[in-house]
Amino acid sequence: MTQLQSLLGEALARRYRQVRQQTLQLCAGLSAEDMMVQSMPEASPAKWHLAHTTWFFEQFVLGRDSHYRPRDPAWHYLFNSYYQSVGPMHARPQRGLLSRPPLDEVLAYRRHVDEALAELLLADGDDALAALVELGLQHEQQHQELLLTDIQHAFGCNPLLPAYRREAPSPAPASIPLHFLPGREGVVEIGHVGTGFAFDNETPRHRTLLAPHALANRLVSNEEYAAFVHDGGYREPSLWLSDGWATVQRESWQRPLYWQPDLASAFGLAGVRALDPGAPVCHLSYFEADAFARWAGARLPTEAEWEAAAAGLPVEGNLLDGLPRLPGAARGTGLTQMFGDAWEWTASPYIAYPGFRPLPGSLGEYNGKFMCGQWVLRGGSCATPRGHVRASYRNFFPPQARWQFAGLRLAQDQ
């Protein structure tokens, strides 16, 4: 190994330790009982997140070495998520039943894999290995966000509505006025460019045509969404897509997830607090975001419109850096809140870009096979790790999903 390869290996080993430690830090205030709860089939227990992210490194990185022996072969079944090509897995809706292995064994599993990875990174300067480790770290950062949103949902189902962490209330200044700014038009290029990390679904970079349009300078606020609720938005079928209206009726939706019946307070990671009128509305489904846009006489932006506007902007904002901070009111001029605070639903279905090719082998299951029945979100949230998101990043969820930090930005045709 050359000196340069050795230095690169040391740098990657440091990043590996930092990301893995961040996951443990997010769990520091949780009890073993907290970390076993699964509040709905779409969520996972925190303990499972700890184990699955470790399994990913064991399976796809350490597993390249024919001499490596898994900590416990039976855990391959327990902690595989959806990689059918590497074997069967425990049913997702039943992850909350896994009282064994206990938490201390899962933490020992993490230490075991971390020690093996550290030795490998310092001994092997292989570019393919580095790419796999970086993919695993990006994967773990995704699970850091899921860990937060999943534990918030679990606590939100508890009648005590406990706080994940206490945060002292701060003054809630009004948000800047909402107005529209012209977007780029004509032929533009979107998709990942450069040498930094990107998921396969961000590629290839390609051209697309944008019609004249404008984007709102900030995210829709709680105060603005409350006006929609008070105006009977959840009772007016003409505002909703057919599947959305059916969901509203079936689930008896009357307000955003976590808003309390008084429409003046909401449950969050800090417990029940007064609703900040200027902060962006969060925990909306695509159906709700689309209905609000119709009510407001606007629409949701396409992902191409959003990316063309975000390209070149600094990736700054309320992103996860240590412990999460609650979303807050917009500040500044021009396009604000493009990154952080809340994910932004777009009008774009999650489909492949022209010429898309998934990663080879089992890792090709990571993104491509979900390109059906999902919608794209952009920009990151207060629970998205800093350094993880970028202008080309494509998040995706089914249209009825509400438990993520998801809001909206309005768009208009010109």
Joined tokens for residue 353: 């870009």
Tell me the per-residue pLDDT of 263-310, one tens digit each, with 9 for 90 and over.
Answer: 999 999 999 999 999 999 999 999 999 999 999 999 999 999 999 999
Q: Which residue has the higher pLDDT, 371 or 167?
A: 371
CA gap 14, 389 in Å, rounded: 20
Task: Report how many helices (DSSP H) and strands (DSSP E) the chain contains, helices first.
Answer: 9, 11
DSSP code for 259: B
pTM (predicted TM-score)? 0.96
DSSP code for 283: S
| Full DSSP string of 323-349 | S--------SSSS--SSSSSEEEEEEE
Tell me the per-residue pLDDT of 60-114, one tens digit each, with 9 for 90 and over.
Answer: 999 988 888 898 999 999 999 999 999 999 999 999 999 999 999 999 999 999 9
- In the numeric block, the tokens 């809630």 are attached to 172
CA gap 382, 404 in Å, rounded: 10
Q: Alpha-carbon dihedral of residues 27, 29, 35, 41, nearest 10 degrees?
A: -80
